[in-house]
Structure 1
Amino acid sequence: MKRRHFLSNTAKSTGGIMVASSLTTLGLLSGPSGRAGEKRGLGVALVGLGGYATGQLAPALERTENCYLAGIVTGTPSKADSWVDQYHISSKNVYNYDNFDEISNNDEIDIVYVVLPNSMHAEFVIRAAQAGKHVICEKPMATKYEDCQRMIDACRKAEKKLSIGYRLHFEPHNLEAMRLGQRQVFGKVLESDAGFAFPLRDKSRWRLDKEMAGGGPLMDVGIYAIQSTIYTLGQLPIALQATDTTVDRAFYGAVEGTLDVKFDFPTGVNAKMRTSYEESSNYLKVQAQEGSWELAPAYSYGGLKGRTHLGAINFPAVNQQALQMDDFATCILKDKQSTVRGEMGQRDMFIIDKIYESAAAGKPVSLKGIPNILHLV
């Protein structure tokens, strides 16, 4: 499905219409903190009402403390009607892709969360900033590095904050992986292995359209493996070598089916990752001088499990998206920089571009010039 078809198919029918104490404080270890539509802090408008917005973000906004679901942007009238009813959204806070810019006149909406296909992220982030709204952009930030810079520049010009939907920076098992690696709890890290994959064999899915997705599994779930490798080590890679190991090339066509990547880090750690639409995997494994740890599953919305060589890593279940959105709302209210700000999404797009470059050339590439941004614990 091309971008123009996505907009056409939706708009056509409208006629243009640390952990435990912090979690307890945010109220995410118990039941929902309030009903959707109940005003709690800053108002959020979701742009795009697909599976992630429907299944994860909207329910999470019923559990936030510092923000709430105030509006929606969709090109499907039936979706708009059902969301208005279910989440008690004011009809004046419902927009479509044509009249989206009118959101600038709505004081009830403070944050716009862009949850559209990858190729549309840049356009709507820029339009949201120009409309005077703070922005969360779902990952990957864009399909091109240059677009990331345009998005950052637009938000800076508008004096609005930009955050990327990196939910795992607020998830306790992943935070523990950061702590163990960055603080060298078991000594220097020697090896790191990350993988995230799931079978995708439906040609009608936009994720298999190069124009819409920008690539294959690397742009979808592989980005989690890139993230975990970096935030566990607390350092940036200096070079990489990628290999396209797709099995069914005839089916996946213009996008990769499977990719393997080896990273070079300044400390000499042996770091690798694998992502695929041809198999299933969900893990982070780390070996240090005096011990080891792993998360499996590592990147899911819930049910994460971990262990070190000494035993299980036990943390309570949290709503990752609620923590993520509450943190961004807090950053706005306190005028602080987001941990997962736009520059981090730009950094990952820089790495992704280099991975594709290396896979195409069949040789290592340097990461000189990589944006210098890390989440250090």
Structure 2
Amino acid sequence: MQSRRNFIHQVAATAISLQLLPFTSWGKVPIQDGPVLRVAIMGLGGYATRVADAMQQCKRAKLVGAISGTPSKLTAWQAKYGIAEKNCYNYESFKNIKNNPDIDVVYITTPNALHHSQVIAAAAAGKHVICEKPMALNAKEGAEMVAACKKAGVQLLVGYRMHFEPKTLEVVRMRQDGELGKIKFFEGLSGFVIGDPTQWRLNKALAGGGALMDIGIYSINGARYMVGEEPIWVTAQETKNDPVKFKAGVDETIQFQLGFPSGAVASILSTYSVNYLDRFYLVGEKGYANLQPATGYGPIKGYTNKGELTQPHQTHQTVQMDEMAAIILDGKKPIIPVDGEEGLRDLKIIDAIYEAVKTGKKISLT
């Protein structure tokens, strides 16, 4: 983390000393004619930088603002991305964004526990909101966020980048068109060995849990759009081998099962203790689809009973932001929803998984 900060500061210093114009070394894609979604990113960490870099290739979305509690980050972002000082805020001055007509949407990439208050504040300021997943710590918070955005008349979208990924969408198309037949089974494997034990993702107050809230949500969401149904029950079991690193309320590994109305079932593993777990496997009566890696930054790889999936790789965040611009500006309907209600559905399942772990019971989702 420190090396990334140093790098950003070095880039900023170089740009200032050489009096570079914004984006001269970026090869930025020209914004196309027509309305453009003007975006401010809140929380300038590693993933925010990935989004900001990807947005330099967007045709419908433009990075115009930044919000951070660290003044040096705001200075660096102004230099690196050509952001006007008037479009930069700290967390105290953020409320003044309501008076800034140059910002359409706030993209929130802060720790999970901050999403609830920040989404509600952005909505109250009259700005559309994109919130990273999980949308909130629990379904209660999520419902309040959805309600606040509806009341304010703004859109709430969630950063489900896989909903726009071409190979993923091809598997969904095959399932929708009946090419796989009746779906019988889904397997999702989501895991990696987490590093720094002091990071916020291992802090229950900030993360709301452990692996399930970070990497496991990909398989929860994936089970829903791959099977094409909403689960009606869940069972779950937790394994914790390192109670020092994974303190109370921070899950290391959870295996869980979902049942669907059609009789299809899903078996999912979410863990912070095993690398190389990034796989979706969908089986129907007529065929199957395998994605591995299934949710990484790419390229996604996959094959079905009909052969290899060959759709070209595109940077996920670039595609996501252009597609979200079309949703907000044009009213486009995505193939797989990315709205607040979609985020809320995942949160209800997460709540039920934790309840199943705690009680050892099958938890109804209906």
Establish whether TM, by shorter chain, passes 0.5.
Answer: yes
Q: Name the SS for the 1:251 alignment partner.
A: coil
2:313 pairs with 1:317: yes
TM-score, normalised relative to structure 1: 0.86
Q: Please name the residue that 1:51 is paired with.
A: 46
Aligned to 2:290: 294
- How many angstroms does 1:251 deviate by? 2.6
| Inter-partner Cα distance in structure 2 for 1:226 and 1:173 | 18
Residue of structure 2 in register with 1:221 after alignment: 215
Structure 1 residue 35 displacement after superposition: 6.9
Give the fraction of aligned pairs with identical amino acids, expressed as a percent: 42
Instruction: Pick the aligned partner of 1:74 from 54, 62, 68.
Output: 68
Match of 1:244 in 2: 238
With over 3 angstroms needed to count, the CA separation of the structure-2 counterparts of 1:209 and 1:102, relative to structure 1, is same
**In 2, are the aligned partners of 1:210 and 1:216 still within 8 Å (CA)?**
yes
Once the two structures are overlaid, the 10-residue window that deviates more, 304-313 or 223-232, is 304-313
- Deviation of residue 166 (structure 1)? 0.4
Q: Does the CA contact (< 8 Å) of 1:179 and 1:232 recur in 2?
A: no
1:294-318 superposed Cα distances (whole Å, 9 cap, x missing partner): 0000001111100112321111011
Deviations along 1:249-282, one digit per CA (max 9) or x if unpaired, are: 3431121100001111111113111110010200
Aligned to 1:135: 129
Q: CA RMSD in A?
A: 1.8
Counterpart position of 1:235: 229
Matches within 5 A, 1:1-377: 34=29, 41-54=36-49, 56-254=50-248, 255-280=250-275, 281-335=277-331, 339-368=337-366
**CA-CA distance at 1:337 after TM superposition:** 5.9
SS in 1 for 2:95: helix
What are the superposed Cα offsets for residues 132-168 of structure 1, whole Å, 9 maximum, x if unpaired?
A: 1000000000002111111111111110011000010
Distance 2:28 2:262 in 1: 44
| 1:32 Cα deviation after fit | 5.8
The TM-score normalised by the length of structure 2 is: 0.88
How far does residue 330 in structure 1 lie from its aligned partner after superposition?
A: 1.5
Query: Number of matched residues?
Result: 336
Query: How far is 1:353 from its partner?
Result: 0.2
Range that drifts further, 335-344 or 95-104: 335-344
Distance (whole Å) between structure 1 residues aligned to residue 333 and residue 299 of structure 2: 29
Unmatched segments (≥5 aa) in structure 2: 1-25
> Separation in 1 of the partners of 2:42 and 2:209?
22
Q: Deviations over 1:8-31 (max 9, x none)?
A: xxxxxxxxxxxxxxxxxxxxxxx9
Query: d(CA) in 2 for partners of 1:63 and 1:92?
Result: 24
* Alpha-carbon distance, 1:188 to partner: 1.3
3-state SS of paired residue (2:187)? strand
Secondary structure, in 3 states, of the residue corresponding to 1:219? helix
Q: Partners of 1:132 and 1:190 in 2: how far apart?
A: 44
